[in-house]
């Protein structure tokens, strides 16, 4: 089995992947009720991550859980909200929870997701100050 991580064995990866998948399954109703989607792409089989996305008008939202590939085997959660103009994407991002283990995520996924949505929704257009070049897809 192919794994992209240096600090875990294949067996540890499989165990963590099953637990991350269980969190994803548990989040499904909450994710859908807030119009977020969990895209299924080629990385989803090899990554210990969940990346929920939503698009509304010119805004893009992202709530994610990522494995940190460290000796402690921890995760972090992040938020991103972006607004697109014809040439520039303005955004704000934040690491929301840091250095949390899989047990914490399993016990607290609902609270994490709800607090993430509350925070990301509180960010107004004028809060999106970071910027990058934006090329719209046609």
Backbone angles phi, psi at 92, to 5 degrees: -135, 135
- 88-100 and 75-84 strand pairing: antiparallel
> What per-residue confidence (pLDDT) applies to 138?
44
Q: Which residues of the chain have pLDDT under 50?
A: 138
Global pTM value: 0.85
> What per-residue confidence (pLDDT) applies to 86?
83
> What per-residue confidence (pLDDT) applies to 1?
53
- For the chain, the 3-state helix, strand and coil shares in percent, each to the nearest 5, are 35, 35, 35
Which residues, at least 6 apart from 6, have a Cβ–Cβ distance to it below 8 Å? 69
> What per-residue confidence (pLDDT) applies to 32?
87
> What per-residue confidence (pLDDT) applies to 43?
59
């Amino acid at each position: 089995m192919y794994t992209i991580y240096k600090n875990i064995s294949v067996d540890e990866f499989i165990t963590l992947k099953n637990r991350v998948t269980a969190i994803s399954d548990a989040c499904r109703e909450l994710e859908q009720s807030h119009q977020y989607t969990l895209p299924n792409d080629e990385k989803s089989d090899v990554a210990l991550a969940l990346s929920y996305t939503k698009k509304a008008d010119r805004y893009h939202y992202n709530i994610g859980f990522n494995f940190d590939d460290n000796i402690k085997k921890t995760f972090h959660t992040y938020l991103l909200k972006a607004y697109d103009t014809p040439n520039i994407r303005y955004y704000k991002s934040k690491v929301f929870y840091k250095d949390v283990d899989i047990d914490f995520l399993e016990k607290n996924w609902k609270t994490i997701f709800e607090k993430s949505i509350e925070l990301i929704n509180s960010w107004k257009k004028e809060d999106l100050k970071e910027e990058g070049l934006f090329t719209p897809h046609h």
